[in-house]
Amino acid sequence: MQISPLRRFISLTVTLILVYPVAILAQNAAPKPGSRRADIVPLVAAHQHLMSPAGVALLPPEPPLATVSLPPELDQLLRRREKVSGAPPTGDLFTEDAIIQELQEGRWQKGRDKIDSFLGFMEKNLRYVPSAYSADGSTGWIAGTIREGTSTEETLNFVLGLRKRAGGAWQIASEVFTVIPPRPYGKPVLADQLVEELDDAGIQRGVVLSTAYWWGDPRHGFSTAEGAEKTRIENDWTVAQVSKYPDRLVAFCGVSPLADYGPAEIARCAKIPQVKGIKTHFANARVDLRNPDHIARLRRFFRAANDNHLAVVVHARTRGEFVPELARIALDSVFSVAPDIPIQIAHMGSTAGKPDENTKVFADAIAAKDPRAKNLYFDITQTVLTDGSQTSEQLAQIAAALRRIGLERIFFGTDMTLPGNNPPPREHWKAVRRLPLTDAELRVLASNVPPYMK
């Protein structure tokens, strides 16, 4: 079957990053001192996720907007627009000075001749399905999605800007497209896939963090009993997956930090040999670090982990504002009750690949040899962005933050591989190699093995 240029472009934009040459699995040793920079690979990916069938069901896609009926003159315009895809000329369908967004490079094309040229490369048999519209006086717009033939799959969003000419007929003055990416959590991610990705990157071992804390997210509305049961089932699923590769993978149970059932689930997980720790997520649980009740629950949670000798990987950022004051509260009032276990702060305690003033709170405590920071570690998961968008100055800031914390406290990780969203470990490590670290510093980072794996 011939693939049209439009379909080929959409396919390439969301799948090209998933195709790579195969790498040879690294030897069971730290990177050698004399190895080339390109040959340095991490021993461990310390922040990885799988996706269970239950997780897929928990996060359904947003339903599309309902189709609307257009006034006859706008419906006729939309049907004319469908007919010229892949079959120009457009005649007077577009205004003489109309603009259309060219998909492949995202640039504007202006004027009927250029629009005709672009539309000649578009797929035929496209169906414009309206979801909303407005028409007021001589201007209006139609927004919706584009489908292919009789398919119900939506591949593009569109917005048409409209203008009514002197004779009373509507014309298209502008057209914009956006690609609808694949559903991020649309299918399970199993241990088999993760191990293949680790092999491809040359990484020996992985830390699989259960996402069972998702069932403690208040927006799902589970009762305490339901949340406890679903959390337990999800954690057991993760352990079963990890058990297929006992020499390659270890598991962390996932537990909501505010849940009443949290301490009991931590104690249960501590008895499972494959489990080395607990993953929790402040933002997912809607933690408010200024709320005394939340602080009490967090202290109970971290005490339970400490009492059961389980490390904690914590997404410490909360929703909305996260300022140094909140990082200090986490250090002073929460992490301090778990002095005997490693606490790994995910994503460098920041977002959008920018170690910030909150990261600095923890880094300063380490530099000052604050006893509360004795067992603090960090992972650089999604800190160095794979799209190359960070400037050399931003990469230098990340490198400086790593040095201030101490490279021996930094672990590599990549989160969950998602199509068109988050590429696999090989590409993440390629991005990390762009940091202005010396080869010796990069070897330290690559050689780090979390204490809970030793």
Every domain of the chain and the residues it spans = 5-59+183-453, 72-179
Nearby residues of 332 by Cβ (< 8 Å), 6 or more positions away: 372
Q: What is the DSSP string of 118-147?
A: HHTTSPSSEEEEEEEEEEETTEEEEEEEEE
The kind and range of the H/E element at 115 are helix 112-119
pLDDT in tens, 376-392: 999 999 999 999 999 99
Q: What is the DSSP string of 218-259?
A: GGG---HHHHHHHHHHHHHHHHHHHTT-TTTEEEEEE--TT-
pLDDT at 224: 97
pLDDT in tens, 23-65: 333 334 567 676 689 899 999 999 999 999 999 999 988 888 9
Classify 315 as helix, strand or coil. strand
On whether the CB atoms of residues 326 and 291 are closer than 8 A, the answer is no
The arithmetic mean of pLDDT across residues 108-126, rounded, is 94
On whether the CB atoms of residues 195 and 249 are closer than 8 A, the answer is yes
State how far the Cα of 125 lies from the Cα of 219, in Å rounded to an integer.
Answer: 41
Per DSSP, 354 falls in state B
The arithmetic mean of pLDDT across residues 75-94, rounded, is 95
pLDDT in tens, 126-173: 999 999 999 998 999 999 999 999 998 898 999 999 999 987 899 999
- Answer yes or no: is pLDDT of 437 > 50: yes
Average predicted confidence (pLDDT) for the chain: 91
Question: What's the angle, vertex CA 348, arms to CA 346 and CA 354, rounded to 5?
Answer: 130
pLDDT at 9: 42
Cα–Cα nearest to 230, from 208, 251, 255 = 255
Query: What is the band of 71 on the pLDDT scale with cuts at 50, 70, 90?
Result: very high
Query: What is the band of 430 on the pLDDT scale with cuts at 50, 70, 90?
Result: very high
The arithmetic mean of pLDDT across residues 349-363, rounded, is 79
State how far the Cα of 82 lies from the Cα of 124, in Å rounded to an integer.
Answer: 8
State how far the Cα of 74 lies from the Cα of 117, in Å rounded to an integer.
Answer: 24
On whether the CB atoms of residues 145 and 131 are closer than 8 A, the answer is yes
pLDDT in tens, 204-248: 999 999 999 999 999 999 999 999 999 999 999 999 999 999 999
- Could you say which architecture CATH assigns to the domain 72-179? Roll (3.10)
pLDDT at 108: 95
Could you give the percent of the chain with pLDDT greater than 70? Answer: 91
- Answer yes or no: is pLDDT of 6 > 70: no
Of the options 3.20.20.140, 3.90.420.10, 3.40.1710.10, 1.20.1440.230, the CATH number for the domain spanning 5-59+183-453: 3.20.20.140
